[in-house]
Amino acid sequence: MSIVVTGATGKLGRHVVEQLLEKVPADQVTAVVRTPEKAADLAERGVRLAVADYNTPESFEGLFKAGDKVLLISGNEFDKGRTGQHQVVIDAAKAAGVALLAYTSAPGSLTAALADDHRATEEALLASGLPYVLLRNGWYHENYTENLAPVLEHRAVVAAAGKGRVSSASRADYAAAAVAVLTGEGHENRTYELGGDTAWSFDEYAAELSRQTGEEIAYNPVTPEALTGILTGAGLPEPLAAVFAGVDVSIEKGELEVTSGDLSRLAGRPTTPLAEAIAAALKG
């Protein structure tokens, strides 16, 4: 039996593997990667490496074994048909007879276009008949704190989210929930709505940045169309910029405010405060 993590060298996958190694022997962990060189340090610690690519279905043939627990981390290639990519993993897992397939999805309340691939993948997973867990991850602190340079330069937080609130948490928090499911019992066929303990508004985010930097940083609310233009001007492809602007519209509607408490319960601790994530990013 192995715990198999796809996308293991990605930003979330790394956290999952590191936290798994605190709970189980390294030889019980398989990291699925596209570029083994990026996981050389994990291999040195005894983690098994499997080279596979969502875009190459045959690379997943024989990768899983009966009884494996698998974490399917959603792909980030928005232009390559993520649902089809995920189906490759689901089909391979079903053929192998894995014990559990957990999938990192999006909040059930999210109606933005970003959620479409996730909903379709959830439907495919349920249709497969596999024992499943839906880890409906909310927004990450790092979606904001990893991109502070333009905010600090212009002394402005720009978003199209109005007065909406976000229950974000750190990648490490979401990884802890995944690890709890992969190493625990009784999670089969469960859906968890995951988000941070404390929701915040963009006014509050700007105020916290101001407090920690000593600079006056304001929240500048804009229209979704204006935000799309700003993001394309910064180099994002227009379709992807529109997707992110759509998420802000969902935030204004309250669709990324998660009140279930599932994340802190699974992690066994409070979620990371936004202020702590900002402090870590500023030390950077």
The whole-angstrom separation of Cα 272 and Cα 19 is: 16
Instruction: For 220-253, write each residue's pLDDT tens digit.
Output: 999 999 999 999 998 989 988 999 999 999 999 9
Instruction: For 66-111, write each residue's pLDDT tens digit.
Output: 999 999 999 877 666 889 999 999 999 999 999 999 999 999 999 9
**Confidence (pTM):** 0.96
Residue, of 46 and 243, whose pLDDT is higher: 46
Distances, alpha carbon 160 to alpha carbons 102, 231, 248, in Å:
32, 12, 5
pLDDT score, position 80? 65
pLDDT score, position 76? 78
pLDDT score, position 107? 97
Q: Is the pLDDT score of 26 beyond 80?
A: yes
Over residues 197-211, the mean pLDDT reads 98
Lowest mean pLDDT among 43-47, 73-77, 97-101, 135-139: 73-77
N-to-C CA span, the chain: 38
pLDDT score, position 192? 98
Beta strands in the chain (DSSP E): 3-5, 29-33, 48-51, 69-72, 100-105, 132-137, 156-159, 165-166, 190-194, 200-201, 218-221
pLDDT score, position 187? 98
CB atoms near residue 73 (< 10 Å): 24
Q: Is the pLDDT score of 181 beyond 80?
A: yes
pLDDT score, position 79? 66
Instruction: State the chain's mean pLDDT as an integer.
Output: 96
The whole-angstrom separation of Cα 43 and Cα 45 is: 5
Lowest mean pLDDT among 77-86, 121-130, 271-280: 77-86
Q: Is the pLDDT score of 259 beyond 90?
A: yes
